[in-house]
Amino acid sequence: MKIFYDIDTQRDFMNQDGALYVPNAELIKPKLKELTSYAKKNNSFHIIGSVDRHFGTEEYKHREGELQRWGGPFPDHCMDKSFGIGKIEETKLTYPDARGEFFRSEYYGFSNSFCHPHYLDERVDEKYLSKAIGFVCETKWSPDRKPGIFFEKQSYDIFTNPAFEVFLEKANVKEAVVYGVATDYCVKAAVLGMQERGIQCYVVEDAIKGVAPDATKQALKEMTKVGAKFTTTKEVIEQYSR
C-alpha cells in the first residue's frame, strides 16, 4: 500500500500566532492543500498522519519532557482541546453529515477521520485498528467523504505510539509520500523510522519546513543517508497521475 503521510499540520505549528510556530510554515500551505486535495480524489491513496496532543498533567509528565513546564525546550503547544491543536484549513478532512459512521475528532478539525490515542498504558486498541484497516481497504470513497487515519503523540517521534507501527504492518504499507512539519524533528523521526522498517519514503521538499536552518540541513542529510528520496508536489501529482 502507498500512503500520503501528513505530519502535524496543526495551527500551533503552521500559523504565525501559533504557540510553537515553525518559521515560514505558512509558505507551504498551498502545497499542503494540493497534496491533500489530490489524495482525497485518488482512491489509490489514503491520508495517514500524526497529530500532537499534550496534556501538561503529572500523569503525562514522563512523555512530555519536551515541554518547558517539565524542563524541556518548548513552550506548551497543541494542548488538549485548545484551538492550536486543530488542523489547518488546507489539510482538514471534513463533511457535514458524518452521522456517527467514524471516530469523530471534531476538536482536531475533522469529523470523518479515525484518530488512535496514545494510551497511557501503551495499549493498542484492536477494535480501532480493525476499523482503520477497513477504511483503507475501501476503494469507493468519494472525495468529500474520504476519511483519514491519524495517530496521536506526545513526542516528536510518532513511533512512540505503538499503534502506528502495528497499523503499518497490518496495512502492508510499502511507500509513503511525506510532508508537514517540522523537518528537523517530527518529519525526520517519521522518515527514519519508516525507512528502518522497509517503507520507502518520498519527502516532498516544497511541503516541509524546519525550525532551525542548520538542524534542517542535517536532517535532510540523515534522511538521504537511510535511503529516503526527495521530490516536489508537482512531481508527486504527475507521477501518480500516470
- What's the mean pLDDT in 149-155? 94
Decide if 109 contacts 78 (C-beta within 8 A): no
At 195, the amino acid letter reads Q
Against a cut of 0.85, is the pTM above it?
yes
Of 175, 205, 152, 161, nearest to 10 by C-alpha is: 152
Cβ contacts of 34 within 8 Å, gap of 6 or more = 233, 237
Domains annotated on the chain, with CATH:
2-240 (3.40.50.850)
Residues in a beta bridge with 151:
50, 116
- Tens of pLDDT along 73-129? 999 999 998 889 989 999 988 654 443 333 445 555 555 577 889 999 999 999 888
> Rg of the Cα trace of the chain?
17
Percent of the chain whose predicted confidence (pLDDT) is above 70: 91
One DSSP character per residue, 33-91 reads HHHHHHHHH-TT-EEEEEEE-B--SGGGTTT-TTBGGGT-SB---SBTT-GGGSBPGGG
- Tens of pLDDT along 216-242? 999 999 999 999 999 999 999 998 776
- Cα diameter, the chain: 52
